[in-house]
Structure 1
Amino acid sequence: MAKDKENTASEKKDKKEKKSKKEPNKVAKWFKDLRIEFKKVVWPTKQTVINNTAVVLAVVAGSAIIVGALDFGFLHLLSFIYTLGK
């Protein structure tokens, strides 16, 4: 039993010593790691960004035209069917 008490006391002492050592700030470490990761990123060129943006805008515009045409067509189709029913 005496040894158990000694072991427990020594474990507590070890924990206190570990806590007394200055641990690095976790937030500062996170920002440091973030900066390191950003340096590894391969950023696209300005021309690549412009090209990709143009493609996205063209696809959005094309999709809007197709959806608008379908809406217009279905509206007239349903109004034609409705007038036949009268």
Structure 2
Amino acid sequence: MADMEKNAEQTAAGKKAKKAAAKADSKQSGIKEKKEKKKLFARIAGWFKDLKKEFKRVVWPDRKKVLNNTLVVLCVVIVGSVLVGLIDTGLLRLMQYLMGLSN
């Protein structure tokens, strides 16, 4: 019984210590946030520098590959449009037939 009470006290003390540590961390992070807000333009400049580095890493496709991919996309869009148009026309005629509006 006494062991259980000691364990409960230790657990409670551990929780209090964790809360105190969390408060201290939140205070420190609040200070860091204030410092970061002061360096807004420095952060923006850093972001653009990183962006420039990333653009240098990009492997840009050659003209032939871009043309090929463009043609594939256009063909898929045209075929898809035709299919949607045919389905729409078919459903329209079905509805007209069911409602008795066809000639």
Same fold flag (TM > 0.5): yes
Higher RCO, 1 vs 2 (CA within 8 Å, ≥6 residues apart): 2
2:71 to 54, 57, 70: 54
Q: How far apart, in 2, do the equivalents of 1:52 and 1:79 lie?
A: 41
The question of 1:68 aligning with 2:74 is answered no
The percentage of aligned residue pairs carrying the same residue is: 48
How big is the shift at 1:30?
2.2
Tell me the alpha carbon deviations over residues 27-63 of structure 1, each in whole angstroms, 9 at most, x when there is no partner.
3322222211111110111111111111111111111
Runs (4 or more) in structure 1 with deviation over 6 Å come to: none
The question of 1:37 aligning with 2:54 is answered yes
The number of residues matched between the two structures is: 63
CA RMSD of aligned residues (A): 2.4
The question of 1:79 aligning with 2:96 is answered yes
What is residue 16 of structure 1 aligned with on the other side? none
The amino acid that maps onto 1:28 is: A
* Alignment gaps of 5+ in structure 2: 1-34
Per the normalisation by structure 1, the TM-score is 0.62
Q: How far apart, in 2, do the equivalents of 1:36 and 1:67 lie?
A: 43
Give the stretch that moved more between structures: 25-34 or 55-64. Answer: 25-34
Per the normalisation by structure 2, the TM-score is 0.53
Tell me the alpha carbon deviations over residues 1-50 of structure 1, each in whole angstroms, 9 at most, x when there is no partner.
xxxxxxxxxxxxxxxxxx9xxx8x33332222221111111011111111
